[in-house]
Structure 1
Amino acid sequence: MFDILVIGSINADLVFISDIRPKAGETVMGKDFKVLPGGKGANQAIAAARLGKKVGFIGCVGNDDNGKKLIENLRGNNVETQYIQIVDDVPTGVANIVVAEEDNSIIVIPGANYSISKDMIDKNMDILLNSKLILLQNEIPMEVIEHIIDLCFGKDIKVILNPAPAVKLKESIVNKIDYLTPNEHECKIAFGNPNTDGLLTKYPNKLIVTVGDKGVLYHDGNKKVNIPAFKVDVVDTTGAGDSFNGAFAVAIVEGNSLYESLLFANKAAAISVTKIGAQEGMPYLEDLKGL
């Protein structure tokens, strides 16, 4: 039914832009403020849709203006939204993002994103089991993520879990998915283990660790591989990981090798950081030709 089915979060991003990041107890004068569409799930869905794939979305928003605008934005980016549920008495999720010093800091309030339930997934079982690839993140309840992974295990459905925000993962869950895509910090938390090289060796061709401007690491079964990042002028790193994951999903669905898929994902992530805003920076296929 879908090339890629994203099950995840939908947020309104409140973006504060500043030259410096305030320390505890400090007030600084910022440069700009924007309200932008976000949420890791929505970001990754749009990243994949802009790269030409048929993308569906399962998630929740509140019965409020943010929710209505965010659904419309997904629809405007060619993401199928009919499986998004509008819930009463819970606000749409929001994220407070401070962009400063060529990096970002984020506080997420999940809101309606935590209204996604196992029952909601079961009602959409046909959609789930007829999609080529499922793309997940940790901004919805973990029990729902585990339920989805269990439903897909042993079937001809690829599953990518982007474990952000980071939580400790059960080894049984890691063993059932095809790809796990943390950054360095998330990897240490997910496994309770700071030895990244050892983890890469333990999970060859499955564990993919993004390392910022150093690119991405994985183990191919024989050796550790480092695919360097593309050099660009950084404007805003918000959404870089989401662009990476969306593009990675696209390349995997197209049948590319892991190396080729990660190279493609690195390119998309690089282009995404040259613009302000997570979804604003998601590239189209033609954008990748210039890098």
Structure 2
Amino acid sequence: MSVTVVGSLNEDVLVAVDRLPARGETVIGRSAVLAPGGKGANQAAAAGLLGPGVHMVGRVGEDPAGDRQLAALAGSRVDVSRVRRTPGLPTGSATIPVEEGTGENLIVVVPGANAELSPADVDVEPVRRADVLLLQLEVPMDAVHGAAAAAGGRVVLTPAPPRPLSEELLALVDVLVPNEHELVQLTGAAAGERTPAELAALARRISGPVVVVTLGARGALLVRRDGSPALLQAPPPVAAVDTTGAGDCFCGALAQALATGRDLPAAVRFAVTAAALSTTGPGARGALPDAEAVEALLPRVPAAEPVG
């Protein structure tokens, strides 16, 4: 079994605030710390801690931040031999204010070396032979498409940050994992609160892949193409500290669960549990769980409920 992640590596600047700022507003931060990040690297770290055989494909700069990102991934049992150094560009970065009490956050990303990832970078053995390939959209679209086309196993795509997805790319994707806001943007629907049944109807507008919609504290919604009802999988109860990176943990856990042979409902249940545990510590990787912790909590996860 193996999981390969093609995507971004960033250094996060986590800023603790009493509340998130409104548009045009200045708030005073309580503290700031550096932490490893990037949607791709976060997914790889989550998958690496949950099981063996995880590879990362991406780019960093020739700078201390790049050194730190590679060391952090290696410490999470991720093979980084296919992460390339990029002369003349810094490692990607993200500034993330995190609200005290709720753990809610905002994220501003500067791509840096991530913007140079090319189709040639991703046409490599770990992509071709992976049981599951994980993709996101913090790297150039031609690299995303090239990786999906080269993949020999299942392809899981997180459409974040949201961009238009071609029918050609969607035809290469097996599982699409948007959050509810990304789903609304992908389908061109009006913004607004929606029930799980309404979200399932939106997901069915997307042709091709199975859709798994992440819903934060409500869990995840599985919408399959076989005519079966959508399934709403609620998470186990946890005391959330910081939701940064929970969606990335979900995707890394989903990939590991699929790579080890779980069916989609069981994989979503496993991923929801891992993501819930990841919110119990600071930062995108401060509380990433191992497989033992997830398995121990699974008996407390509510049963999935049919929707619609």
Q: Give yes or no for TM over 0.5.
A: yes
| Matched residue type, 1:206 | V
Distance 1:138 1:19 in 2: 30
Aligned to 1:135: 134
SS at match of 2:171: helix
Offset from partner CA, 1:196-238 (integer Å, 9 cap, x none) = 3323335587111111111111224221211112221110000
Superimposed CA distance per residue, residues 139-184 of structure 1 (whole angstroms, 9 cap, x where no aligned partner) = 10011111222223xx4x1100011111121123222211000000
Shift of 1:76: 1.6
Contact kept? 1:247, 1:265, Cα under 8 Å:
yes
Q: Normalising by structure 2, report the TM-score.
A: 0.88
Q: 1:25 to 1:129 in 2, by over 3 A?
A: closer
Query: Which of 290, 296, 299 in structure 2 is aligned with 1:284?
Result: 290
Match of 2:300 in 1: none
Residues 1:164 and 2:160 are matched in the alignment: yes
Gap change, CA 1:137 and 1:166, over 3 Å in 2: same
Task: Confirm or deny: 8 A CA contact 1:8 1:137 kept in the other structure.
Answer: yes
Asked if the contact 1:37/1:279 (under 8 Å) is kept, the reply is: yes
Once the two structures are superposed, the pairs formed by residues 1-291 of structure 1 within 5 Å of their partners are 3-100=2-99, 101-122=102-123, 124=124, 126-152=125-151, 155=152, 157-193=153-189, 196-202=199-205, 206-220=210-224, 221-291=227-297
**Could you tell me whether the CA contact under 8 Å between 1:168 and 1:191 is conserved in 2?**
no
Contact 1:200–1:224 at 8 Å: present in 2 too? no
Between 75-84 and 126-135, the greater mean CA deviation after superposition = 126-135
TM-score by length of 1: 0.93
Structure 2 gap ranges (5+): 191-197, 298-308
**Offset, 1:192:** 2.2
Q: 4+ runs of 1 displaced by more than 4 Å?
A: 202-205
- Unpaired runs of 5+ in structure 1? none
CA contact (8 A) 1:183 1:209 kept: yes
SS in 1 for 2:84: strand
Cα separation, 2, equivalents of 1:199 and 1:26: 34
Identity of aligned residues (%): 37
1:226-274 CA-partner distances (Å, limit 9, x unpaired): 1112221110000100110000001001111110000000000000001
Letter in 2 for 1:217: L
For 1:207, what is the secondary structure of its paired residue? strand
